């Protein structure tokens, strides 16, 4: 049995984390397997050996980084240069090797981080062996093990129910059916489902790879490279480039063989020099590296990213739905008051709305504080896995053995109370109950739950409840009913006996985290199962905008459009059922919002699953961690800003470097086309392309990809990148080819001098593109640009470097003409940047 605090929030939290009575069902049941039986099954291989992997294997990482489409193209080109020589024209091949190695190393580092974090966050189910309940890793469960279940536990292998105490299983992740299924002994349970009510145990019938559902659960919860706008956008760009590359390369090969017919080696070198720059090989690499480093950085903050693009997704979020308990408040609670209600002095509204005298009270002994404490202690004794609310009651009035902190006269279990039947908490009911044989010989049902659910509307006690809730306190109603628990409505003749007042512990970092989201234009909405007035009080204490207009979810409209309107304008919701949480997330998404949902209990699972990004607390239920993309292993809500910042860094910086790579691709394709049309030698050798790519793209892109970047992520990645890349590439290619042809007109027999002028012009234009992309400037970005310029100057001025790269500027006229052309191209780039990019970005905002 699990008792609620004031609604589903407290009771979605995995109660086994509280530390008391985590053994599930107690005496009178199977002792489970013996140590010898376990060893025998291990020897036969009847073990749950399905590997739970948080990341790709080492082999998959190496294969994904080495065997790529563009590495194949570059590898072929490198092999050709090794044949025709000289070796300096094959430097681009070494760059590819280095880049691939960097990608592998970074992803392996990320894998180690993820694997270690996943091990920390992995569910450790309880099994009964030799009569004792023990926690074991998933991989150590054997066939015929008796696996214990409590609220929030995930079913990790297939089996048959052997014990059930109001056991309800949610199988929506497997079947899509949202309603929990009541399980009785002999019923089947499947891995991937989870417990939403009651307790029980099952015998494992299929373990390891025999359980198909287990394979589904593993696949659903493993680290995956799912579709994201960033990755899909880059793939779209690469696909377009591939279509352009093939015909352009064929034309270039034919033209260079025709032009350099008397020197086929030179023709091949020029052809390779034209093809290699078209390939934006570093773009994919830097995207992987940026994500991998993001995972490592977040891992240091005890944040497990179960799906890589979740970093990107949270950066795009504009609405965060917060579950109050476990997110804004800590899991623990303190009982601050037990307020007995005087029986017989209350007037209750009858069904027709008229007041009637208070219902005949039970023996007035039940108004005695000590007796109420004993009853609460007995209820605690019936709770095999107390949640935070019940644990506070146990701490105050006695553990099940009567030895609790508040033992003495008020202790429960040892005071003559006997549990006859228990009804576990349900999110739909918002209360739980125990049928007790009382010390005086009477028998009655004792209920504990939400006052506004157990009491009729207009009951005067609700005024006290609202007053306490307005102070941010959590209130439970303790009542007694002569109606049996198995009746259709055990609360029908409930006599309210006391209010149990609990105080939640606000997280120290909650207010600062909400301020961060507010400053980033991300709206925060609190969606809780608690009473709306209580939730509003907590939100108001944290200065959440809109907290003063908390809404009771029982008044939510059923019409989808009206619901979307209410969801959009309201900041705080109380008395929200699990299904309503899911509907609110969907309503916000229907309004075009990108929604993140945080939670820790089984009542949050449906909403976490449907949200764009699900964030689970590390001490939350196994079910929430299975469906969430991000798990905060140390339960620190304040880690979320770090995830948002990391996502924005990745997206913003990849967009920057994508501009650099695609400008190069565009001008390379344009130069190749112009060379094919004019039937002139390609202006560069592979070594020239290497030095240009390294100084204007490769090295700068690496630093820019890892730099801080807090700009909010927006949709339309491909469209924005192409706005600068296409005109920028056209300007760079046109300027370079113009300088090259003017130099050829002056001395068409000195190909080295012509190539040098073209290289100078292209470097100046490309460095201008870098200067635009690197904005806004910081000291290190200016230093980066200056260093690249200085390095190129060394290549031109140091004799052995200029000889190695075959660069020699002849005379004064052509070099300065190249500078002037580059300056004009720079002005055009500024016009493109300001008129096209900035204006259209402003329209997006």
**Alpha carbon of 589 to those of 567, 569, 794: distances in Å?**
10, 14, 55
Q: Are strands 613-617 and 630-632 parallel, antiparallel or unpaired?
A: parallel
> What angle do helix axes 717-746 and 229-259 make, rounded to 10 degrees?
20
Catalytic position from the list 6, 323, 383, 530: 323
| C-alpha–C-alpha distance, residues 278 and 74, integer Å | 10
Structure tokens at 420: 């006859």
Rounded Cα distance, 522 and 598, in Å? 14
8-state DSSP, 507: -
Neighbours of 440 (CB within 10 A): 11
> Order of strands, edge to edge, in the sheet holding 523-527?
303-305, 630-632, 613-617, 595-599, 319-322, 523-527, 572-574, 551-552
Could you tell me where the beta strands, DSSP code E, fall in 183-317? Answer: 188-189, 194-206, 303-305
CA 517 to chain centre: 16
d(CA 476, CA 5): 6
Cβ(334)–Cβ(5) below 8 Å: no
Query: Both ends of the chain: CA-CA distance in Å?
Result: 52
Instruction: Collapse the DSSP code of 32 into the 3-class scheme (helix H, G, I; strand E, B; otherwise coil) and give the result.
Output: coil
Q: Residues 6 or more apart from 209 whose CB is under 8 A from it?
A: 49, 50, 215
d(CA 474, CA 219): 39
Question: Which residue has tokens 């590495």?
Answer: 71
CA 457 to chain CA mean position, Å: 41
Distances 298 to 119, 719, 808 between C-alpha atoms, Å: 16, 30, 49
CA 723 to chain centre: 30
Sequence-ordered list of residues with C-beta below 8 angstroms from that of 424, at least 6 positions apart, any chain: 1, 2, 151, 165, 166, 168, 197, 198, 199, 432
Alpha carbon distance 374, 255 (integer Å):
96
Joined together, the tokens standing for residue 835 give 């008129």
Give CA 527 to chain center in angstroms. Answer: 19
Q: Find residue 339's DSSP bridge partners.
A: 499
CB 30 within 8 A of CB 86: no
Query: Cβ(114)–Cβ(305) under 8 Å?
Result: yes
- With beta carbons less than 8 A apart as the criterion, state whether 771 and 704 touch: no
Tokens 């990320």 belong to which residue?
Answer: 110
CA–CA dist 463, 499 (Å, integer) = 12
Count how many Cα atoms sit within 13 Å of the Cα of residue 193 in the half-sphere of its side chain: 29
- 452 catalytically annotated: no
Instruction: Please give the backbone phi and psi of residue 774, each rounded to the nearest 5 degrees, phi first.
Output: -75, -5
Q: Is 712 within 8 Å of 649 (Cβ atoms)?
A: no
Exposure string (b/e) for 640-651, b if CB count within 10 Å is 16 or more? bbbbbbbbbbbb
Q: Return the ∠ at Cα 296 (arms to 290 and 299), rounded to 5°.
A: 140
Please give the angle made by the CA atoms of 685, 696 and 272, to the nearest 5 degrees: 25
Q: Round the CA-based radius of gyration of the chain to a whole number and report it.
A: 34
Question: What's the CA angle centered on 71, arms 223 and 308, to 5 degrees?
Answer: 15
Dist. CA 662–CA 642, nearest whole Å = 30
Please identify every residue annotated as catalytic.
323
């Amino acid at each position: 049995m699990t008792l609620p605090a004031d609604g589903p929030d407290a009771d979605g939290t995995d109660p086994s984390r509280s530390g008391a009575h985590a053994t599930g069902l107690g005496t009178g049941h199977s002792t489970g397997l013996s140590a010898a039986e376990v060893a025998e099954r291990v020897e036969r291989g009847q073990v749950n050996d399905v590997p739970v992997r948080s990341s790709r294997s080492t082999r998959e990482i190496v294969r994904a980084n080495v065997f790529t489409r563009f590495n194949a193209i570059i590898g072929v080109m490198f092999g050709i240069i090794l044949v025709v020589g000289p070796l300096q024209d094959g430097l681009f091949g070494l760059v590819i090797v280095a880049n691939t190695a960097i990608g592998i190393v970074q992803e392996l580092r990320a894998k180690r981080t993820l694997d270690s974090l996943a091990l920390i966050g992995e569910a450790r189910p309880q099994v009964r062996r030799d009569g004792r309940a023990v926690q074991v890793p998933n991989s150590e469960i054997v066939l015929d093990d008796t696996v214990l279940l409590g609220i929030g536990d995930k079913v990790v292998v297939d089996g048959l129910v052997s014990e059930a105490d109001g056991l309800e299983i949610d199988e929506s992740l497997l079947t899509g059916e949202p309603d929990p299924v009541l399980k009785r002994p002999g019923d089947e349970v499947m891995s991937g489902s989870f417990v939403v009510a009651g307790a029980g145990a099952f015998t494992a019938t299929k373990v390891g790879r025999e359980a198909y559902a287990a394979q589904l659960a593993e696949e659903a919860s493993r680290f995956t490279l799912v579709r994201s706008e960033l990755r899909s956008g880059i793939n779209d760009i690469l696909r377009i480039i591939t279509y352009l590359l093939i015909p352009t390369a064929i034309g270039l090969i034919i033209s260079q063989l025709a032009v350099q017919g008397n020197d086929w080696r030179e023709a091949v070198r020029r052809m390779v020099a034209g093809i290699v720059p078209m390939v934006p090989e570093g773009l994919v690499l830097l995207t992987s590296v940026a994500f991998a480093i993001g995972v490592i950085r977040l891992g240091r903050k005890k944040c497990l990213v179960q799906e890589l693009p979740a970093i990107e997704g949270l950066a795009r979020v504009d609405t965060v739905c917060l579950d109050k308990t476990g997110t804004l408040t800590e899991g623990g609670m303190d009982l601050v008051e037990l307020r007995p209600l005087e029986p017989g002095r209350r007037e209750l509204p009858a069904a027709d709305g008229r007041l009637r005298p208070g219902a005949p009270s039970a023996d007035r002994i039940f108004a005695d504080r000590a007796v109420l404490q004993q009853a609460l202690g007995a209820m605690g004794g019936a709770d095999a896995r107390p949640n935070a609310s019940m644990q506070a009651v146990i701490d105050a009035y006695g553990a099940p053995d009567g030895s609790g902190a508040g033992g003495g006269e008020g202790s429960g279990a040892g005071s003559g109370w006997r549990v006859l039947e228990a009804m576990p908490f349900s999110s739909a009911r918002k209360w739980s109950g125990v049928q007790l044989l009382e010390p005086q010989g009477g028998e009655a049902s004792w209920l504990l739950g939400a006052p506004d659910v157990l009491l009729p509307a207009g009951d005067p006690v609700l005024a006290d409840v609202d007053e306490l809730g307005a102070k941010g306190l959590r209130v439970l109603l303790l009542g007694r009913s002569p109606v049996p628990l198995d009746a259709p409505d055990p609360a029908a003749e409930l006599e309210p006996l006391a209010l149990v007042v609990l105080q939640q512990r606000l997280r120290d970092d909650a207010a600062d985290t909400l301020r961060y989201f507010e400053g980033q234009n991300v709206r925060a909405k609190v969606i809780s199962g608690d009473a709306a007035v209580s939730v509003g009080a907590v939100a108001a204490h944290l200065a959440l905008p809109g907290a003063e207009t908390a809404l009771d979810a029982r008044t939510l409209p059923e019409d989808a459009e009206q619901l979307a309107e209410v969801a959009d304008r309201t900041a705080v919701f109380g008395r929200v059922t699990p299904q309503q949480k899911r509907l609110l997330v969907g309503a916000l998404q229907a309004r075009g919002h990108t929604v993140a949902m945080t939670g820790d209990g089984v009542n949050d699972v449906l909403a976490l699953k449907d949200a764009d990004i699900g964030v689970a607390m590390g001490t939350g239920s196994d079910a929430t961690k299975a469906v969430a993309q991000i798990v905060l292993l140390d339960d620190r809500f304040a880690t979320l800003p770090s995830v948002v910042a990391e996502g924005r860094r990745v997206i913003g910086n990849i967009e920057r470097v994508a501009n650099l790579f695609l400008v190069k691709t565009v001008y390379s394709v344009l130069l190749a086309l112009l060379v094919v049309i004019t039937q002139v030698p390609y202006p560069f050798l592979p070594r020239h392309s290497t030095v240009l790519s390294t100084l204007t793209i490769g090295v700068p892109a690496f630093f820019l990809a890892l730099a801080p970047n807090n700009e909010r992520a927006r949709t339309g990645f491909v469209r924005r990148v192409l706005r600068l890349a296409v005109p920028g590439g056209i300007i760079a290619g046109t300027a370079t080819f113009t300088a090259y042809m003017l130099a050829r007109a002056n001395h068409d027999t000195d190909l080295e001098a012509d190539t040098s002028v073209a290289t100078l012009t292209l470097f100046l234009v490309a460095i201008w593109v870098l200067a635009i992309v690197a904005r806004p400037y910081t000291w290190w970005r200016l230093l980066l640009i200056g260093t690249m310029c200085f390095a190129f100057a060394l290549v031109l001025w140091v004799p052995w470097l200029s000889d190695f790269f075959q660069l020699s500027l002849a005379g004064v006229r052509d070099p300065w003409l190249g500078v002037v052309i580059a300056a004009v191209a720079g002005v055009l780039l500024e016009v493109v940047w300001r008129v096209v990019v900035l204006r259209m970005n402003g329209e997006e905002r």
